[in-house]
Structure 1
Amino acid sequence: MRRRSIGVCILLSIVTCGIYGLYWFICLTDESNAVAGEQGTSGGMALLLSIVTCGIYYFYWSYKLGEKMDKARTYNNVAPGSLGIVFLLLSIFGLGIITYALAQNEINKYATVL
């Protein structure tokens, strides 16, 4: 797990017309599993499920990503929030890139701790 610059990730996602966003999705999934100490769905499988279900799985993934971030907060003695709901609402309203940025921010906090 490594720290990523959120601005660079967003810029690369825009410049590559979303190709880097797919890679970032996979990395976020794998790293959120590591931060939360879970053996959840791998990043590649989550991407495949999102494609096969025409994006429906993506909403579930967004919610679970927030739940994993809350779990990581609990492990690190930080008060958990309702990130699952926040991430789900952002995704529903088409603001998934903000979900990615917020999740990466949480992962960056704990990348130095682990």
Structure 2
Amino acid sequence: MGNLAMNKKSIAAVIILSIVTCGIYYFIWMASTTNQLKMYNEDYNGTSGGMVVLLSIITCGIYGMYWWYQIAKKVTLAQQKAGMPTNDNSILYLILAIFGFGIIGSAILQSDLNNLWDYASMNTANNNPYAQ
């Protein structure tokens, strides 16, 4: 599965790049986050990151609101898989998205993901007798 800590991103960079690029980086982050969680959760039938972005654009953001709810569920599943305490923020993300505060949701989500990747990579290293 590789080094999971490499999936970490700076929360400030996600926010700043999303603002500076007028939302283009936000879509890149959305696709990347979706794909990382798909791989970690071994969800081979789920929607790809590129399709999430395309559907969000085509539906003028309506699918994006659904994505926020679903991505929180996927983070919760990943937290369970990693053996860490779960934190289901699906309703919070949905409310933030509805009122146009997706940027705040992205900061909270990236924080949760950074904690997940740290915990999962630490767990992987501790369970691997060949890890250095």
Question: TM-score of the superposition, structure 2-length normalised?
Answer: 0.77
Amino acid of the residue matched to residue 56 of structure 1? I
* Structure 2 equivalent of residue 47 of structure 1: 53
**C-alpha distance in 2, partners of 1:26/1:82?**
20
Unaligned runs of 5+ in 1: none
Question: Are 1:33 and 2:33 counterparts?
Answer: no
Aligned in 2, Cα 1:45/1:36: closer, same or farther, shift over 3 Å? same
User: Aligned pairs, how many?
Assistant: 114
Question: Are 1:8 and 2:13 counterparts?
Answer: yes
Amino acid of the residue matched to residue 17 of structure 2? L
Unaligned runs of 5+ in 2: 1-5, 122-132
Residue 50 of structure 1 deviates from its aligned partner by 0.9
Residue 92 of structure 1 deviates from its aligned partner by 0.9
Instruction: Find the structure with the greater CA-based Rg.
Output: 2
Q: Deviations over 1:53-110 (max 9, x none)?
A: 2211111111000001111121122332331111111111111112212221222123
Contact residue 50 and residue 58 of structure 1 kept, 8 A: yes
Question: Are 1:73 and 2:79 counterparts?
Answer: yes
Identity among equivalent pairs (%) = 41
* Structure 2 equivalent of residue 17 of structure 1: 22
* Structure 1 equivalent of residue 63 of structure 2: 57
Q: CA RMSD in A?
A: 1.6
* Structure 2 equivalent of residue 111 of structure 1: 117
**C-alpha distance in 1, partners of 2:40/2:105?**
17
4+ residue runs over 3 A deviation: none
Aligned in 2, Cα 1:108/1:58: closer, same or farther, shift over 3 Å? same
